[in-house]
Chain A
Amino acid sequence: METTLSIEDLRVEYRSRDLGETTKVAVKGLNLRVGQGEVFGFLGPNGAGKTSTMNVLLGFVPPTSGTARIFGVDVREPIARQRIGYLPEQTYYYKFLTAEELLRFYAGIFQIPKAETEQRIDAVLKLVELDHARKRQIKTYSKGMQQRAGLAQALINNPDLLILDEPTSGLDPIGRMKVREIIQRLKGEGKTVFFSSHELGEVETVCDRVAILHQGELKTAGRVTDLLKEHSANLEQIFLKLIGYAPRS
């Protein structure tokens, strides 16, 4: 299987604002590989280092040491982002634009030809079920609709790799189901999806493989079916065990 995303010995440190503490280590020597066409769940409690890793992958934060590559290109090169789509957690898109204008703007950044842009806009708006509201300004959208507009912008360049940061966060059950359906449809099209989520039931349903991160360290990585078999438990129980959470009896 061709490698889409690879992380080697990644370490991310931040200068801490706390008194007496010089640096805060967010990620400690992370190694990870995601193959083409996989749906990969990136899990961990808050502060585990998931967002820091994603920030490195997207070029927002430089790694302190180690390397990260997307399609074999170092993530520090802007061209590495040509074939990816990114959906951040809870973003409020330009509210004065319509969905159509928003997508035309992002298509312009990818320098997609005009005729193809219109085709792509039609296709992604149908996929995320926003076709009926395409000419409405985003400020009139519900939270779920805004999230789907975000998914549409992540798909405008027909990416081979999708990075989704908690894509169902804050959505109602119907909204969550719709996003899940979209991810499954993308998987059917052979896209690679790398996403973080706290919805472990959802991850169990959708993902081929998962990695669990805790305090910046990789606790486990593997196929969901193998993990379930190995631990004889569901993903939530495995997750809690690996992060050392002991429920009060």
Chain B
Amino acid sequence: MTGKDALIREEDLQAYVDGRASGEQLAEIEAYLAQHPEERERVALERRQRAALRGQLENKFAEPIPPRLWIANIQAARRRRLIWRLGAAAAALPTPVPVPRLPAATRVSRGLNLDATLRLTGGLWEGLKFIIETRADSPIHLHAAFDPSTPDNTLFEASLGSFTILKTVTIDTAEDHVPDKPTVTHDAGAKLDRPGLSLLVLKSVK
């Protein structure tokens, strides 16, 4: 029996407490406990305490999920915060810009030629940073449509006119890295690329 005893480690006893011992291991543990009443009592107490803890938390687990934790509500709140930030970004532009709705893009791209309209489609818009650099003296139109039921149909559009000065608009949609205010900068002395060229940089924050 002594030889067998040596095989039983504290880890085995813990596995027994957690109901994770089975087959041969379980049989060996039970044989060991049959020979060691003190250990048997200790392990039995630990099992009772484990069960008691679960029991005390049973009601909490059974509670219905409160509305503020419904995923749809948390997403709606996130979208409202994003709209507010985009509105602030649009308001900071020197030229009239329609307040955009929701942007969404998962694609990372840079150096796109934006003579016409840029369209990006993607799933989730969380965790993206939009940096738009353009030489423009005519309105920049940012438009994004977010379709909650089919995120893949989400559109991000930017249409840009003719360009004389550089504007950089940063719209950070990542919750954790968002500046208080989206930034808008001008640099009249920026070197010109060919007329009509604009640059849109989409950066993933991570």
Q: Are chains A and B native binding partners rather than an unrelated pairing?
A: no
Residues on A close to B: CB < 8 A?
none
Residues on B close to A: CB < 8 A?
none
